A and B are shown apart, each in its own frame.
Chain A
């Protein structure tokens, strides 16, 4: 037959084999008889996909088909019914209309009655599933502000919603930490009678004296100053470490509280990040499917209001155009000459050097501020004016806040000059801002450590007698607690100030300014990445400080509550939906990871102080010990013999090394399994391509045969 050569050449051509079927699908054969598309529509797979349940018209039934192939299609649908009912889906997961689902549920129930109650395991499994659903629903309803979050997500997008969801999660962590603190430190303190007062001037000890209470009558502004800087009457209060009496029970529970909070936070954060991690790890590289994702999941169906919809449409258009442009740029970059590449790379190196220089200057500023606080406080001018005294006290916080305010916009200006694609720019800006925030905190802690341990030199003049700088810092733990307390307060004050003094007036003024100026000043957006980094920084500060300032989680709970309502008010009153949508998936994966990083960073100074720095001799529950950790072996030695042996065994190498070996083996096994699954997937994909070619070939053969033989 004359069609054969054409069929063979077009259907089996290796290089352009996939072009021919595409054209075939679009254009039906002009000959009489059945077209290719009608043949393909009758395949059982197509029938199942279009099935909508008994008694309902299937999807996309054009009128002509019903008359001709009514019998054939009905038969296909009947077969499909059999297949559907064999799968034990719960009725609501079937993509059928309500009537069909109701009929399915009733027939399913009838079947169960007829065939007996089915195997026991099935019933049990169903009961278990149902109770799990109920508990999940109950837990969902317990979460506060669920309705607010939904509204925010609908109006401002999923990225903004993820910020508020993260804020709620951190609030939960802080509440748990405060509750644990109340049980494990406050309760034991008062259990054994009222704790003693401060040592005062009359105690003599080789490590100097410690007198936190100031003498005589205190004026109002001194009180205010004490409140804001944690000195005076606050210094010897349950707020700070120094207050707690040296009973052995309290010491053990105090230490256990720190570790329990750390472990709890770790578990919760891991639990939260697992779902985001699963999606990101299992999905193939995002670069392979970026266009499909941009088109298929681009539209947020929760958007309502013409203004928002038009804005989103404009954003989508802009993003698509940018993406197409980026592909062209990438293709151009691939064919860059050596000279052009050298130029681009030299620009990048220069800009990176600039960034490092800026960061270095910022860190030096923070270091200098912390070092000079103590000296500046001695000058008589500062002692006179309370406002200046407050300012000097807050100098480290002011420096850190200033640096975090000024440098990120500079990074945003620098990034486009480096010649990377837009998405890579965003990642770079985020990484740099993150580094800035966490590293400035680290520098502050480093300079504190410098002061406390005289630069790590145990033989230095000041640190020889007591192991720490007892002359300037008779109770160094309280000092660290005070610094963290001041950071927390200052963070809250700056948040309030920015909202009240910058964002609200800007919104109010833009209503009065006419034309373009008004529009420029008026469109504020909720910058999700910056806000989230601020949250994570605040939480890291609390984690660092909660060992030295046990009431800090409670204060942070109040602060985050205030912050939630403040940000919500600011959002609804002043902000419009963001121009560059921040993908919620990035938020779910990236931000818990950064939170973990913050937790890891905060554990370093804690562990260092517990194991390596001698505790103050004059204050706190560990006074008189050689190190804070030394309390634990002492209390273990008071336990029975078997418990002692067991606990000591856990610390030996005979336990740690096999544990490490077993974990490595498990990890290697999981990686190998994942690799083999990946290979299987690509194999199945290739098989599927071949099968599709087979299908089209057979369908065209059928059409050719039916056109030559009209009896079909």
Chain B
């Protein structure tokens, strides 16, 4: 498979289409993104010190021939033994690479997102399939159920399966900004969390579990449109 690793096999592509909510074009695009994020970095830094994001990646790679070429380039970059398609798929990419994507770079939840989708035992690397999972959950066509499930995981900062007061206050701090002058005061935070628990904690146990969260989210029509990342 070495030399002809120029494109994903049709079966693999069909399997990915079946197992995720992504279209064929989006899968090929994500291959391009995973293969050359260091190129993205260099280009952006070389252009100017401007923080404003350039054109999103897709504008530069909006056709499958380009992604196929990119995958070939990716395979050439890998050492000899990893040039088969399957090996390149299983290759683990460290968080820094994924976090350098412009779509994720400024996101306050980026570390949580990477931790939630990682399947490696040390929870600090993402494989390509994890990345596809990420894109699938954040895509347009994912069901609200699966979006709310993963949103709950992302907001659960201490990974204990429920959102307690600590989780909620960390969530609000992420939303408003981490620095001192952008936080809510302690009394405002307490009032806010009291109000949230009053509204969403149905069984009055002081925490919000997954089904309560999903119940609240199901009544929020904006959630599906805001829980989206488009490459």
Contacts and interface: CB of A to CB of B under 8 A. Distances in A.
Interface stretch (B34-42, B76-84, B190-198): B190-198
B202 A685 contact: yes
Nearest to A289: B199
Contacts of B129: 97-99
A335 B169 CA distance: 31
A165 B97 CA distance: 35
Nearest to B172: A295
A689 B18 contact: no
Contacts of A692: 203-205
Interface string B31-53: 00000000000000000000111
Interface string A463-476: 00000000000000
A18 B160 contact: no
Given A295-B192, A301-B226, A305-B106, A60 B160 contact: yes
Given A280-B221, A297-B222, A60 B161 contact: yes
A314 B15 CA distance: 43
B32 to A, nearest CB: 16
A292 interface: yes
Contacts of B165: 26
Given A21-B206, A60-B160, A301-B227, A105 B19 contact: yes
Interface string A25-58: 1100000000001000100001001100000110
Contacts, number: 223
A305 B51 contact: yes
B216 A289 contact: yes
B149 A314 contact: no
Given A158-B225, A309-B108, A688 B203 contact: yes
A105 B18 contact: yes
Interface in A212-240: none
A153 B210 contact: no
A105 B18 CA distance: 10
A22 B145 CA distance: 27
A253 to B, nearest CB: 42
Contacts of B4: none
B177 interface: yes
A95 B150 contact: yes
A679 to B, nearest CB: 16
Nearest to B127: A98
A584 B182 contact: no
B198 to A, nearest CB: 8
Contacts of B227: 297, 301
B119 A99 contact: yes
Nearest to B23: A137
B219 A314 contact: no
B106 A297 contact: no
Interface stretch (A316-324, A381-389, A448-456): A316-324
Interface residues of A, number: 80
Given A49-B210, A306-B106, A313-B177, A279 B221 contact: yes
B132 interface: yes
Contacts of B162: 25
A26 B205 CA distance: 10
A373 interface: no
Most buried by A among B153, B203, B207, B228: B203
B9 to A, nearest CB: 15
Interface in A539-594: 583-585, 588
Given A25-B207, A295-B171, A60 B177 contact: no
Interface string B118-161: 01010000000110110010101001011001110101101111
B159 A60 contact: yes
A608 interface: no
Contact of B219 (A151, A283, A584): A283
Interface string A64-107: 00000000000000000000000000011101011101100100
A405 B59 CA distance: 37
Contacts of B69: none
Nearest to A318: B176
Contacts of B229: 301-302
A655 interface: no
A301 B196 contact: no
B53 A304 contact: yes
A298 interface: yes
B56 interface: yes
Nearest to A94: B146
Nearest to B206: A22
A297 B182 contact: no
A26 B206 contact: yes
Interface in A672-697: 685, 688-689, 691-693, 696
Contacts of B28: none
Most buried by B among A23, A292, A317: A292
A59 interface: yes
Contacts of B150: 95
Contacts of A280: 221
Contacts of B217: 296-297
Contact of B175 (A101, A288, A298, A688): A298
Contacts of A59: 153, 159, 161
A101 B19 contact: yes
A306 B51 contact: yes
A516 interface: no
Contacts of B100: none
A671 interface: no
A546 B192 CA distance: 53
Nearest to B165: A26
Interface in B1-31: 15, 18-21, 23
Contact of A50 (B161, B200, B216): B161
A136 B102 CA distance: 30
Contacts of A295: 168, 171-172, 175, 192, 196
Contact of A584 (B149, B177, B225): B225
A158 B226 contact: yes
Contacts of B184: 317, 320-321
B14 to A, nearest CB: 12
A150 interface: yes
Contact of B222 (A97, A293, A308, A688): A293
A147 B29 CA distance: 14
Interface in B50-103: 51-53, 56, 58, 62, 102-103
A307 B52 CA distance: 7
Contact of A97 (B103, B119, B172, B182): B119
Contact of B136 (A56, A92, A310): A92
B88 to A, nearest CB: 15
B200 A289 contact: yes
A305 B203 contact: no
Contacts of A585: 220-222
Contacts of B196: 291-292, 295
A110 to B, nearest CB: 15
Contacts of A101: 19
Contacts of A317: 175-177, 182, 184
A316 B176 contact: yes
A689 B140 CA distance: 35
Interface-central residue, A37, A41, A98, A317, by most chain B CB under 10 Å: A98
Contacts of A293: 216, 219-220, 222
Interface of B: 15, 18-21, 23, 51-53, 56, 58, 62, 102-109, 117, 119, 121, 129-130, 132-133, 136, 138, 140, 143, 145-146, 149-151, 153, 155-156, 158-162, 164-165, 168, 171-172, 174-177, 182, 184, 188, 191-192, 195-196, 199-200, 202-207, 209-210, 213, 216-217, 219-223, 225-230
9 contacts: A17-B204, A92-B19, A99-B119, A295-B196, A302-B230, A305-B53, A305-B106, A314-B182, A320-B172
Nearest 10 CB-CB pairings of A with B: A22-B206, A692-B203, A18-B204, A60-B159, A305-B53, A585-B221, A98-B129, A317-B176, A279-B221, A297-B223
Given A97-B130, A309-B106, 5 more contacts: A153-B225, A296-B220, A297-B226, A302-B103, A693-B203
